Amino acid sequence: MNEFRIGQAADLLGVSTDTLRRWADAGRVDIRRTEGGHRVISGADLAAFATELSESDDVADHRVSARNRFVGLVTRVKRDSIMAQVEIQSGPHRIVSLISTEAVDDLGLEPGVLASAVVKSTNVVIELP
């Protein structure tokens, strides 16, 4: 059975370890201690909790068909006269988007701006670490 330490689980959920500990103490998520005293969560429980979080998020209220929303910080904008490359760091994920320079200007995208990358794709590659 796959188990994740609390720090790994928090990273995967995009929250701090303190937040995950509080959720565990409040009974929102089942975390157990190993014989060595480390807090761990089973992969199945973590997946179920991640699903619960995504369904309770206000993102579910948006009328958009895309369900993959990554909120993060704009870290880089490379631009020319027509197109721009925008990079967002969302937790451990780096998302790169190619959009028009006009859209970058309209949205005011620059390093340090909080933004969401919304992904809808029929071709997603999945790999194991």
- The count of structural domains within the chain is 2
Rounded CA-CA distance 85/103 in Å is 11
Burial of 90 (0-12, 13-18, 19+ CB in 10 A): middle
pLDDT digits 0-9 by tens, 22-47: 999 999 999 999 999 999 999 999 99
pLDDT for 41:
94
9 and 38 fall within a common domain: yes
**Residue 35 CB-half CA count within 13 A:** 0
| pTM check: above 0.85 | no
Is 125 among the domain residues? no
pLDDT for 120:
80
Is 129 among the domain residues? no
Q: What is the extent of the structural domain holding 16?
A: 3-56
- Given a cut of 80, whether residue 63 has pLDDT beyond it is no
51 and 72 fall within a common domain: no
- Given a cut of 80, whether residue 61 has pLDDT beyond it is no
46 and 78 fall within a common domain: no
